[in-house]
Chain A
Amino acid sequence: MLELQHLSFLVPVDGKDKDIIRDVSLTIPDDKLVVVTGPNGGGKSTLAKLIAGVETPTGGRILFQGEDITGLSVTERARRGIAFAFQQPVKFKGIRVLDLLRIASGKHISIANACEYLSSVGLCARDYIDREVNASLSGGELKRIEIATVLARKAVLSVFDEPEAGIDLWSFQNLIEVFRNLRKSAEARSILIISHQERILEIADEIIVLKDGTVDRRGSRDEILPSLIGTSAAVNYCSRMDNTTGGNATC
């Protein structure tokens, strides 16, 4: 279980402190898929980074499985079972997809095992396993590899920061399946997804609406989702595709 207690994150802007996260307290229970949504600039990605340790809070505490991890590094949190999928996947020169999956799994997994992770994110493993994780891969390919590395972690808590950003429609539909499967698997005990995609909200057990750096609402999907439909906190992927492709998208 993850517990945030009065978490705050201030950044100096023009000589003044600006609240990005303001006194957020919430829990992510075990075995739940929780989606954090809300308008752009509401602090969603920052919250994910605070949990992973990429950013350090200016106030409050983070408890993970009962332990105060507020002062722990990214590495220490990873080793305690927190996985984090970046919104913008990082590129490397010379590091192959296989290398990254082996680092992620923490052991020298076989090529066949590595291929399973790639297959589960819809990549033809044979074509990718030896590819370098560099700019020769498309945004969608990098994103799927990013998600595969999180699957390979078999983490207690998996945090995905806008997993749908930058991927194509086919990948998006596949992504929903990835989360469904991850939720079913015994290894993944909690999943936290930052997203404002309606399709992702539809598979949530709980939804948290973050607005102006604070929790605006939270509750079960059935309680929260109806009030979000039609707002920027629950965007329909197809309608967005319609806007960008001239109405040719089919869902």
Chain B
Amino acid sequence: MLNLDPIQMRLLEEIADLHTVPEGAYNIRSNSHAAGRQSSANIEITPKTDKAGIDIRIKPGTKNESVHIPVVLTESGLKEVVYNDFYIGEDADVVIVAGCGIDNCGVQDSEHDGIHRFFVGKNAKVKYVEKHYGSGSGSGKRILNPGTEVYQEEGSVMEMEMVQIKGVDDTERTTTAELAAGAKLLVRERLMTHENQRAISTYVVALNGEGASADVVSRSVARDKSFQKFDAKIVGNAPCSGHTECDSIIMDEGRILAVPGLEANDLDAALVHEAAIGKIAGEQIVKLMTLGLTEAEAEEQIINGFLQ
């Protein structure tokens, strides 16, 4: 059993769909302490000795196993920087579920900055899911500044699902990736901001080997007076293919800045950027109203579908 209070359990459910301890390896961090940790035969989790954080070592050839490393914060005013390093062995095929939930009922800002590094071995496959969530009625901000570094060896595949739908006041996410020959990176980011929230998401992906490919897609909704910046750059240093896409809906007084960045340093680098920002099309709302939904229900349906 986990030693977590109901609010912490609710956060855990939001960010990792966990109702109890997960199967396989896990490390659950609550208010800067380990609330539970378990290694498995193939996945070893050890705490760092020089700073906060853990090392996760996944043996070569590990198949169909998962690692959960969620973080919950419920103490107002708590600020932490955590360093987690993932070493994924050759030919492994694993799912890693991270994420952070902050409940801040106080007046002081709470902040969690998770710095994750992934060393993905040859032909390994990783699915990484990271959800961010904030709640609490306090005036203190809920701040998350994740830094992610990905190093992919030949033929590896990294699929990243980054989700932030609710309650995070301020976030600056920086993701960098370096891909060797034949490696593939897929990023699916889903983001919704409310009120005066601010979210900045920056990607720099270097395709260094022949046949490397990256597909970075962000779908986002900015409501109320929130602001988002999506800054995605792909650098092609070899015969490779890269695609970035920012597809956004603005509502109320929301603002979005999309910054396309493509750098081709090889004649056979094929790079594409797409960006579209706009309000919900009026005809979409009218269509759903002709099916019996109210205008507000129609908007919610459209946004929910868009962020699916």
Contact = CB atoms under 8 A, between A and B. Distances in A.
A65 interface: no
Interface residues of A, number: 23
Interface string B252-289: 00000000000000000000000000000101101111
17 contacts: A52-B290, A54-B286, A54-B290, A75-B289, A75-B292, A75-B293, A78-B289, A78-B290, A86-B283, A86-B290, A90-B281, A94-B219, A94-B304, A94-B305, A94-B307, A100-B291, A104-B292
B113 interface: no
Contacts of A153: 291-292
A75 B296 CA distance: 11
A78 B219 CA distance: 31
Interface of A: 52, 54, 73-75, 78-79, 83-84, 86, 90, 92-96, 99-100, 103-104, 106, 149, 153
A92 B302 contact: yes
A74 B305 contact: no
A92 to B, nearest CB: 6
A83 B290 contact: yes
A234 to B, nearest CB: 28
B302 A149 contact: no
Interface of B: 219, 247, 281, 283-284, 286-295, 301-302, 304-308
A103 B308 contact: no
A74 B289 contact: yes
Nearest to A90: B287
Contacts of B283: 86, 90
> Secondary structure of the B side of the interface?
helix
B284 A90 contact: yes
A103 B289 contact: no
B302 A75 contact: no
A83 B289 CA distance: 10
Nearest to A88: B283
B305 A95 contact: yes
For B219, B292, B301, B304, the residue with the greatest tally of chain A CB atoms inside 10 Å of its CB is B292
A94 B290 contact: no
Given A54-B286, A94-B308, A99-B305, A149 B281 contact: no
A54 B283 CA distance: 10
Contact of B293 (A84, A92, A103, A149): A103
Contact of B306 (A86, A90, A94): A94
Nearest to B304: A94
Contacts of B295: 75
A123 B13 CA distance: 40
Contact of B291 (A78, A93, A96): A78
Given A78-B290, A103-B293, 13 more contacts: A54-B286, A54-B290, A73-B289, A74-B286, A74-B289, A75-B293, A86-B290, A90-B283, A93-B306, A94-B304, A99-B301, A103-B288, A104-B292
A91 B273 CA distance: 22
Contacts of A75: 289, 292-295
A103 B292 contact: yes
Given A74-B286, A90-B281, A95 B301 contact: yes
Contacts of B286: 54, 74, 90
A149 B288 CA distance: 10
A73 B297 CA distance: 14
A239 to B, nearest CB: 32
A95 B291 contact: no
Contacts of A84: 290
Contacts of A92: 284, 302, 305
Given A86-B287, A103-B288, A93 B305 contact: yes
Contacts of B292: 75, 78-79, 103-104, 106, 153
A92 B283 CA distance: 10
Nearest to B302: A92
Which of A74, A79, A90, A99 has most B Cβ within 10 Å? A74
B51 to A, nearest CB: 41
B291 A104 contact: yes
A83 B290 CA distance: 6
Nearest to A104: B291
**10 tightest A-B CB contacts, nearest first:** A94-B305, A95-B305, A74-B289, A90-B287, A78-B292, A94-B308, A84-B290, A94-B306, A104-B291, A75-B289
B303 to A, nearest CB: 9
Contacts of B289: 73-75, 78
Given A92-B302, A93-B247, A103 B284 contact: no
Contacts of B293: 75, 103
A143 to B, nearest CB: 13
Nearest to A79: B292
Contacts of B306: 93-94
B247 A74 contact: no
